[in-house]
Chain A
Amino acid sequence: MNRLTQLFQRKTADVLNVYFTAGFPQLHDTVPVLQALQDAGADLVEIGMPYSDPVADGETIQRSNQQALDNGMTVATLFEQLHDIRQQGITVPILLMGYLNPVVQFGIERFCQQCQAVGVDGLILPDLPLEVYEREYRPLFAQYGLQVVFLVTPQTSPARVRQLDALADGFIYLVAAAGTTGAQTDMNADVDAYLRRTQALGLRNPTLVGFGISDAASFAAASRHTTGAIIGSAFIRLLQQAPADGRTAAIQEFVRGVRPH
């Protein structure tokens, strides 16, 4: 069974998903960071494939993308790095997240094959149009056992939320507020109302909230009406700051700090 399905069967609240950029801060940090996140207790991990023009991302993730590219990170290199993680004891569900162009240039079928071969469970491709997914990608994702995650924002109409929910099979990624990643979202009454509103739709997929989640308070506020939350920019900042030899401990502390119990 897909590891994402298993996770959400087992766990329906306080799910913590952590994002980091592949090949950052150093080219060969991808697997050590993944291992440290698993050891620290992250429920699932989203690995970002760096891109030169990440329009949905704020400065922190833009810079981590650029640094990873400068380090020589590519889609092919990422698959090489991940090739035996499932034999090396990585059991945490893994999503690859990235913009469409590098995936298209790699070749979509070859990409899906490689995902399956290394043990990737799902994909987030924010600029993949829904109708292109339905027409061209859906059969491939199904064939290679990849679940798909779609984004929803406070501006997404209820009808479209239902349409996205009908086509998603990983989870629904609730963007907390209008903005790019890393924007300072205070989990105010507007966000709370939006999360409640979405909860009331009774979606078939689990929901995880992302954008602006950075600490225990925002994680708790975000998880109140949802299955859990996603931390990205705050974790990238940690990776930037932590000295290489203290990184595993820093990741432990970070994850424990976000979700004290």
Chain B
Amino acid sequence: MTTTAPSPYQVDAAGYYGPFGGAYVPEMLYPNVEELRNNYLKIIEDAEFQREFTQLLTDYVGRPTPLFLAQRLSAEIGTTIYLKREDLCHTGAHKINNTIGQILVAQRLGKRRIVAETGAGQHGVATATVCALMGLECIVYMGEVDIERQRPNVDRMRMLGAKVVPAKSGSRTLKDATNEAMRHWISNPTDTHYIIGSVVGPHPYPDMVARFQSVISAEIIRQLLHQTGRATPDFLLACVGGGSNAAGAFYHYLDEPSVRLVAAEAAGQGIDTGHSAATTALGKPGILHGASTILMQTADGQVTEPYSISAGLDYPGIGPQHAQLFATGRADFMSITDKQALDAAFQLSRLEGIIPALETAHALACLPLIGAKKDDVVVVCLSGRGDKDLATYTKHLEEYA
């Protein structure tokens, strides 16, 4: 699965994916970002780091996560569907693959405090968890709106000893929580590490987070080979908020053109309704949270407030690598509405006994739309479990009775 020529889809020496990426940060963040950039590869490639990372993923997170042949769903859709069960990770989503990696980096950089942003609360919980594990102080910024709709995760973070700070500016969701976390890092430049929760932000974050999440596709290769005799699926589906579960699932397949990569974005109430988070459908190139990428914005370059039923997809941008996958046509981006996501969540629950996260439900909703044939192998990254979304699902129970 490795290529010798540099991949057009991987980060280059300057920190870019084609025209996207870079580190567009004010000088106040420059030393922090530079410290990380100068050290992250050295740290990650160190054998002792790899040993500790792998051991924690195994003994603490519970990896490898299963690759499950979903037979009833396959029959219903008319293709062959495997679910990569990231929902079975400790804390209930793929987010912890990244936080384990980053807390080990933070320790090696001598940091004592951790700051993070969170949308659905899954990244916040995964950060609070590794901070408890390593005995580091943890501050999580979360939009006021998200604090309301993802209450169980707020309580989990508090239970784990983290301080949850409401972000009250702007749309009071993930974008604003990210702004506040960055401001916190600006004010605490020497002793604090910012554990960003997706493949967004200034270089080297998108690359570092993708590397930690790449364990997902490394396992898919092994498991698919074992179960089907082939290492490559025909289709690989994942939802994209910032894009970390997708980046991890796609990672080792980027240069395998036979694998069709499908990224599901949140259309919210519909891309033409003004209540949407479908970044590639509605956005343009620009700069957001320290990276050149594609983002939803006004003609005047003001960032638009996104909307999605799913807090983890309620973000006006995507990671720079995804912008490049979109611009080059390497991945297909699909817009999935709240309604389609709910349908898919109830379908999976009833057919397979798995309640998916609302974010994940957007990836599942692509299944009938991709034109997969009966014998095609389709892998869906089941990024997280739906316990945190039960309040939302409960409101719709009657409709699906």
Q: Are A128 and B179 in contact (CB under 8 A)?
A: no
* B30 contact set on A, CB distance < 8 A: 156, 160
Cβ proximity bits A108-141 to B, threshold 8 Å, 1 near / 0 not: 0000000000000000001111011000000000
B316 CB to closest chain A CB, in angstroms?
A: 9
Question: Any chain B CB within 8 A of the CB of A178?
Answer: yes
Which residues of A (21-67) have their CB < 8 Å from a CB of B?
51-53, 55-56, 58, 62, 66
Question: Any chain A CB within 8 A of the CB of B186?
Answer: yes
B165 CB to closest chain A CB, in angstroms?
A: 14
In the complex, identify which listed stretch (B107-115, B134-142, B216-224, B284-292) lies at the interface while the others stay far away: B284-292
Question: Any chain A CB within 8 A of the CB of B227?
Answer: no
* B175 contact set on A, CB distance < 8 A: 53
A20 CB to closest chain B CB, in angstroms?
A: 19
- Tell me which of A62, A74, A102 has the highest count of chain B C-beta atoms within 10 A of its own C-beta: A102
Q: Are A52 and B31 in contact (CB under 8 A)?
A: no
Q: Are B303 and A53 in contact (CB under 8 A)?
A: yes
Q: Are B286 and A52 in contact (CB under 8 A)?
A: no
A75 to B297, CA, bound (A): 14
Q: Are A56 and B301 in contact (CB under 8 A)?
A: no
Contact of B28 among A74, A106, A153, A160 (CB under 8 A): A153
Q: How many residues of B contact A (CB 8 A)?
A: 33
- Tell me which of A100, A132, A178 has the highest count of chain B C-beta atoms within 10 A of its own C-beta: A178
Given contacts A74-B300, A106-B301, A157-B31, contact A127 B24 (CB under 8 A): yes
* A230 contact set on B, CB distance < 8 A: none
A101 to B288, CA, bound (A): 8
Q: Are A132 and B27 in contact (CB under 8 A)?
A: no
Contact of A179 among B22, B179, B187, B290 (CB under 8 A): B187
B45 CB to closest chain A CB, in angstroms?
A: 25
Q: Are B301 and A105 in contact (CB under 8 A)?
A: yes
* B187 contact set on A, CB distance < 8 A: 178-180, 183
Question: Any chain A CB within 8 A of the CB of B5?
Answer: no
Question: Any chain A CB within 8 A of the CB of B166?
Answer: no
A74 to B175, CA, bound (A): 21
Q: Are A127 and B26 in contact (CB under 8 A)?
A: yes
Question: Any chain A CB within 8 A of the CB of B182?
Answer: yes
Cβ proximity bits B3-33 to A, threshold 8 Å, 1 near / 0 not: 0000000000010000000111111101100
A66 to B179, CA, bound (A): 14
Q: Are A155 and B189 in contact (CB under 8 A)?
A: yes
Question: Any chain B CB within 8 A of the CB of A1?
Answer: no
Question: Any chain A CB within 8 A of the CB of B58?
Answer: no
* B301 contact set on A, CB distance < 8 A: 51, 75, 101-106
B206 CB to closest chain A CB, in angstroms?
A: 15
Q: Are A155 and B190 in contact (CB under 8 A)?
A: yes
Question: Any chain A CB within 8 A of the CB of B392?
Answer: no
- Tell me which of B284, B286, B290, B301 has the highest count of chain A C-beta atoms within 10 A of its own C-beta: B301
A55 to B27, CA, bound (A): 12
A129 CB to closest chain B CB, in angstroms?
A: 6
Closest to B25 in A: A127
Question: Any chain A CB within 8 A of the CB of B169?
Answer: yes
B192 CB to closest chain A CB, in angstroms?
A: 10
A22 to B187, CA, bound (A): 26
Q: Are A151 and B27 in contact (CB under 8 A)?
A: yes
A219 CB to closest chain B CB, in angstroms?
A: 22
Q: Are B286 and A104 in contact (CB under 8 A)?
A: yes
Question: Any chain B CB within 8 A of the CB of A69?
Answer: yes
A27 CB to closest chain B CB, in angstroms?
A: 14
Contact of A127 among B169, B190, B290, B303 (CB under 8 A): B290
Q: Are A69 and B302 in contact (CB under 8 A)?
A: yes
Cβ proximity bits A178-205 to B, threshold 8 Å, 1 near / 0 not: 1110010000000000000000000000
* B183 contact set on A, CB distance < 8 A: 55-56, 58, 180
Q: Are B302 and A178 in contact (CB under 8 A)?
A: no
Contact of B188 among A52, A62, A178 (CB under 8 A): A178
A127 to B23, CA, bound (A): 9
A102 to B299, CA, bound (A): 9
A58 to B183, CA, bound (A): 8
Contact of B27 among A100, A105, A153, A180 (CB under 8 A): A153
* A180 contact set on B, CB distance < 8 A: 28, 183, 186-187
Which residues of B (161-190) have their CB < 8 Å from a CB of A?
169-170, 175, 179, 182-183, 186-190
* A164 contact set on B, CB distance < 8 A: 27
Closest to A72 in B: B300
Contact of B26 among A53, A55, A69 (CB under 8 A): A55
* B284 contact set on A, CB distance < 8 A: 105
* A4 contact set on B, CB distance < 8 A: none
A105-B286, A105-B300, A106-B301 known; 6 new pairs, CB 8 Å cut-off, are A52-B302, A56-B26, A58-B183, A102-B300, A153-B28, A156-B27
A-B contact pairs, 22 of them (CB 8 A): A53-B170, A53-B179, A53-B303, A55-B26, A55-B183, A58-B183, A62-B169, A66-B170, A75-B301, A101-B286, A104-B287, A105-B301, A127-B25, A153-B28, A155-B189, A156-B31, A157-B31, A175-B27, A178-B187, A178-B190, A179-B28, A180-B187
List A residues at the B interface (Cβ < 8 Å).
51-53, 55-56, 58, 62, 66, 69, 74-76, 99-106, 126-129, 131-132, 150-153, 155-157, 160, 164, 175, 178-180, 183
Query: Which are the 8 A-B pairs with shortest beta-carbon distances?
Result: A105-B301, A102-B301, A151-B27, A126-B26, A52-B302, A56-B26, A74-B300, A155-B31
